[in-house]
C-alpha cells in the first residue's frame, strides 16, 4: 500500500507519543515539536524513521500506529 507524507507523519507522531508515555524523559521533544521535525523530512526519510524492513513492514507499522 502507498502512504502519503501526512499519513506517515501522523503514524510517527502516534508512535512517538506512545513511546514517550511509556518512557518519559523531560528532555524529549513534545509530540508537537516532534511533528515539526518530521514535517521537514522527505517521504523516503520518513519511511526510514519507521525502522521497518522485510520482517516488520511499513504496512505493519501503519496498522499499529496509523
Length of the chain: 66
Contact 40, 48 (CB under 8 A): no
Contact 31, 38 (CB under 8 A): no
Q: For the whole model, what pTM was predicted?
A: 0.89
Q: Domain span at residue 10?
A: 5-65
Residue 47, CA atoms < 13 Å, CB-side half-sphere? 12
* Whether residue 21 has pLDDT greater than 90: no
Contact 34, 20 (CB under 8 A): no
* Whether residue 10 has pLDDT greater than 90: yes
Per-residue confidence at 25, pLDDT binned at 50, 70, 90?
confident
What is the number of structural domains in the chain?
1
Amino acid at each position: 500500500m502507498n502512504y502519503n507524507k501526512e499519513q506517515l507523519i501522523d503514524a510517527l507522531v502516534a508512535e512517538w507519543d506512545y513511546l514517550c508515555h511509556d518512557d518519559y524523559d523531560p528532555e524529549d521533544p513534545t509530540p508537537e515539536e516532534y511533528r515539526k521535525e518530521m514535517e521537514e523530512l522527505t517521504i523516503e526519510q520518513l519511511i526510514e524513521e519507521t525502522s521497518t524492513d522485510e520482517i516488520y513492514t511499513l504496512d505493519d507499522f501503519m496498522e499499529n500506529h496509523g
